[in-house]
Structure 1
């Protein structure tokens, strides 16, 4: 079980449409998937264990087919971190 934690980083602006989100970070615009948007919302108030996000995300979006939901969420968090939208420790 992973003990990684994530929290949202500040953005200039964000617009949600059809489940996705366009986020302005500095002078860059990033398109965030519905999964990424839900993760950002879940970690908006501070540090949250990544593995603790999985049950609520599966309830909201359904379980992925033929893939471990923990791996999907961990990969999505890593992608958000690379984009500068979340911080991971």
Structure 2
């Protein structure tokens, strides 16, 4: 995840849909009004790097000593949305 202050941090996806993504991160958003995510994804042997600009909705320090961050997509490619849709339908 890339913050507007130049900080880059690893994230772990905890939930994903075609409209939003929830992640755990070692640090908070630090005032970023928009963030860029790059998520390495795999589903049934197919891999993708999902890239999106996101609007932060929530940043909470959780019981795992991580920041739980909820983001809505601001800009995401149709190809990435299709990959996410295939993944979420398979796990419904």
Q: TM-score, normalised by structure 2?
A: 0.28
Question: Which has the bigger relative contact order, CA under 8 A and spacing at least 6?
Answer: 1
Higher share in strand: 2
Higher share in helix: 1
Q: TM-score, normalised by structure 1?
A: 0.29
